[in-house]
Amino acid sequence: MPSSASTLEAVEAALPGISSRRMMGEYLLYRDGVLFGGIYDDRLLLKITKASARMLRDCPSAFPYDGGGEMILFPEPYDPQRLGEVVDAICAELSGRRRARNLYHPPRDARGMAYVPVKCPSCGKVNQFDSTLNQAFCAYCGAKCTWSAEGPADLQEVTAKAEAGDVKAQYELAEIYRNAKGVVQDNYEALKWFTKAADQGDPYAMYQLGIMYSSGLGTPRNCAKAVKYFSDAREHGLGKQQR
């Protein structure tokens, strides 16, 4: 059923300065132009980001409507301080993600030096190059290697394939982000790509989602979803096929 104006008023009282837009009986909520959540069936639901998943680990997840994406249910009564801190963190993260969507962040060693792994196009071996350079020579065969701010060529290639719907690439990209293989670890991105692979029937991705939901990695802990993904993985032949 449509959400009531009184629920919106309660949220606005706890979060002064936000704006809203009514859509199909519900309310979309914005701060400084950033959509951070909404009111659905008189429930305050917030977007799942790394920050909100960490700050609201004790809150259950919920869906705004049938077929909608998973969100976090913020409890009533609305605590203005806690709610304000969470919304600030969500908006800051979403705004930063827009600016840095295509920016590659190379890992750093114990001294703070940033290096990027680059596979040599000639011999195929991986070198660790200074991230401030955009080209260098392979330590194994002397061939010229290049690197761009978009990240290693391998990462660009896997990302392009994953975005095009290649299920193997989606699984591989999820593994890259979860295990920090040449990138900064990002469980949120890992969850996203495991989900895309699972939606295409990959049982290994389903199993990994079970682990992430049961452990609360990149998302609020959700044992029901974890059990479902573990069950789906078995039903799709986990253990009967090799990757």
Identify the structural domains of the chain with CATH numbers, from first to last.
5-99 (3.30.1460), 102-151 (no CATH), 152-243 (1.25.40.10)
pLDDT tens for 117-144 read 677 778 877 777 776 667 778 888 888 8
Mean pLDDT of 202-219: 90
Give the DSSP letter string of 159-205: HHHHHTT-HHHHHHHHHHHHTTSSS---HHHHHHHHHHHHHTT-HHH
pLDDT of residue 184: 65
pLDDT tens for 154-171 read 677 888 899 899 999 999
pLDDT of residue 159: 87
pLDDT of residue 151: 52
Higher model confidence: residue 2 or residue 199? 199
Q: Which range (37-51, 64-78, 180-194) has the least confidence?
A: 180-194
| pLDDT, mean over the chain | 83
Q: Bridge-partner residues for 191, per DSSP?
A: none
Is the pLDDT at 147 greater than 70? The verdict is no
What does the DSSP 8-state code read for residue 98?
A: H
Calpha distance 231→189 (Å, rounded): 23
Query: What percent of the chain is modeled with pLDDT above 90?
Result: 43
pTM of the full predicted structure?
0.45
pLDDT tens for 45-102 read 999 998 899 899 889 999 998 878 889 999 999 999 999 999 999 988 887 655 444 4
Sign of the alpha-carbon torsion through 68, 71, 76, 79 = negative
